[in-house]
Amino acid sequence: MKLYNTLTHTRDEFITHEPGKVNMYTCGPTVYHFAHIGNLRSYIMEDVLEKYLRYSGYDVKRVMNITDVGHLSSDADTGEDKMLKGAKREKKTVMEIAKFYTDAFFADCDKLNIKTPDVVEPATNCIPEFITMVQGLLDKGYAYIAEGNVYFDTSKLEEYYVFNKQEADDLAVGVREGVEEDTAKRNKTDFVLWFTKSKFEDQELKWDSPWGIGYPGWHIECSAISLKHLGEYCDLHCGGIDNAFPHHTNEIAQSEAYVGHPWCKHWFHVLHLNTNTGKMSKSSGEFLTVSLLEEKGYNPLVYRLFCLQSHYRKSLVFSWEGMDSTKTAYNKLIAKIAALDLNSTDAVDTEQYDALHSRFTDAMDNDINTALAITAVYDVLKAKTNDATKVALIRDFDKVLSLGLLEEAAKAAAAAKAAKAAAANMEFVITCETPDVDEVFKAEVEKLIQARADAKKNKDYAGADAIRDQLTGMGVTLKDAKNGVSWVKG
């Protein structure tokens, strides 16, 4: 399987430290607000990657952190604590905010068919691990204390800008643009491992440490949680592309300095979801959440399809028009599947199965090309093979795509069956459109119309036609309606 690696800038053969086993880490959400659908694009694509690794036979252990402390509003250790900001906004405690938005995040994931990772670890559970790691970095000479805070010393590394060597100067600009320059730092790129000199007097969450009462920096969280649950070798680290610098760069710096050898082989980054006006964020433009999609009448799985139709390494532009066309495509796809015999017990045509199946795996093995994997689903529907083979293939592909294809198709088929039954049970209504018709005559006509309907129901079409002729002879003209017949006496 070929997978693009941000570290090498090439599509590498995916190789793990221990054959057959994948230690996978995902940077989790900072739980101070609802996730916007731009963040969720990353989690959808990472979910597909995880499921495809399992599908390919790997034993995957996936770990995700929950950032409930230490993430400042600028990634360069400046600005306000995001959690505290959320708590102030909603007049709740930081832990109440964390609980509420963690639950909201997983509820959204559920609606998007995103599997919960094997281990979900809130940062506040791991304070002793952070302290051990920071102390280890101090002992090894990779960290220093200045004005009460503990900093990582990036000048001690042979290489710091691991993801983009050529653009080191550009990346440094991002750091310099931080609103407040931290004068305690020895180098511009140094970052905080432990804050004791908090600029937030009302900081709720703080812990005792060898360096005084304080709280951990954001980056140390992922390194320590990964080491805690996955050991010294991580195979695959995932996140949105905006995590690459400074967050992942700093994670690599401190993890490798701490363990003393290369740490994570493979880095998987998902590109941004943009709007027509630029990158989607919580602070600019319409705040797009899963709930908003539902309010506007979209099944959240339509958004999942919207993401899968595009490659994870391309920026994706969100628009309501795009969602509308995806909704139409999704409904058509479901209708086509619903038209198959979903419970067919026929034998699967193995030759056809294998040929169609390899179209799917070829697409996924080629850097998780989900757009082509979706095309493979359409190929199955168009193929000249029996329904049992088609249903078996769709069931198999959807283990990875998780678009609810068979579940939604079964619902659609059941709804169609119910509608048909309702139509069949509809009362047969006979309406006379001519005023003041003699009652005896009317009763005679209605009796004949009913007899004709019964004949039709029993597929006695000749009998039905004979009754119609008899009625014509009586001067009666019939008009068939949806739920009965109307007639006029001419």
Output the 3-class SS for 309-371.
CCCCCCCEECCHHHHHHHHHHHHHHHHHHHCCCCCCCCCCCHHHHHHHHHHHHHHHHECCCHH
The H-assigned helical ranges of 426-480 are 439-457, 461-473
> What are phi and psi for residue 156, nearest 5 degrees?
-80, -5
Selected range binding Zn ion among 21-29, 45-53, 164-172, 319-327, rule: CB under 5 A: 21-29
Q: At what angle do helices 461-473 and 439-457 cross, to 10 degrees?
A: 160
- Of 249 and 326, nearer to Zn ion (C-beta) is 249
Give which of 77, 59, 195, 56 is closest to 118, Cα–Cα.
Answer: 59
The H-assigned helical ranges of 112-248 are 127-139, 168-176, 218-230
CB 161 within 8 A of CB 171: yes
Residues 442 to 471: which contact Zn ion by CB under 5 A? Answer: none
- Of 49 and 445, nearer to Zn ion (C-beta) is 49
| Closest separation in Å from C-beta 271 to Zn ion | 17
Token pair 């592309």 is at which residue? Answer: 241
Selected range binding Zn ion among 44-52, 135-143, 222-230, 424-432, rule: CB under 5 A: 222-230
Selected range binding Zn ion among 27-35, 253-261, 346-354, 391-399, rule: CB under 5 A: 27-35
| Closest separation in Å from C-beta 227 to Zn ion | 13
| Closest separation in Å from C-beta 378 to Zn ion | 37
Residues 110 to 129: which contact Zn ion by CB under 5 A? Answer: none
- Of 141 and 231, nearer to Zn ion (C-beta) is 231
- Of 30 and 370, nearer to Zn ion (C-beta) is 30
Angle at 303 between CA 52 and CA 360, to 5 degrees: 30
Measured CA distances, 101 to 107, 293, 329, 452 (Å): 10, 18, 32, 65
Binding mask 54-93 for Zn ion (x = CB under 5 A): ----------------------------------------
- Of 235 and 408, nearer to Zn ion (C-beta) is 235
**Which amino acid is located at 447 in the chain?**
K
| Closest separation in Å from C-beta 224 to Zn ion | 11
Measured CA distances, 64 to 25, 39, 102, 120 (Å): 6, 14, 12, 5
- Of 27 and 449, nearer to Zn ion (C-beta) is 27
CB 267 within 8 A of CB 163: yes
DSSP 214: B
**What gap in Å lies between CA 405 and CA 410, rounded to an integer?**
9
User: From the list 60, 69, 222, 301, which residue makes contact with Zn ion (rule: CB under 5 A)?
Assistant: 222
| Closest separation in Å from C-beta 195 to Zn ion | 17
- Of 27 and 253, nearer to Zn ion (C-beta) is 27
| Closest separation in Å from C-beta 267 to Zn ion | 12
Residues 301 to 330: which contact Zn ion by CB under 5 A? Answer: none
Task: Report if residue 478 touches Zn ion, rule: CB under 5 A.
Answer: no
User: From the list 3, 22, 24, 27, which residue makes contact with Zn ion (rule: CB under 5 A)?
Assistant: 27
Selected range binding Zn ion among 79-87, 179-187, 216-224, 465-473, rule: CB under 5 A: 216-224
| Closest separation in Å from C-beta 219 to Zn ion | 7
Residues near Zn ion, by CB under 5 A:
27, 222
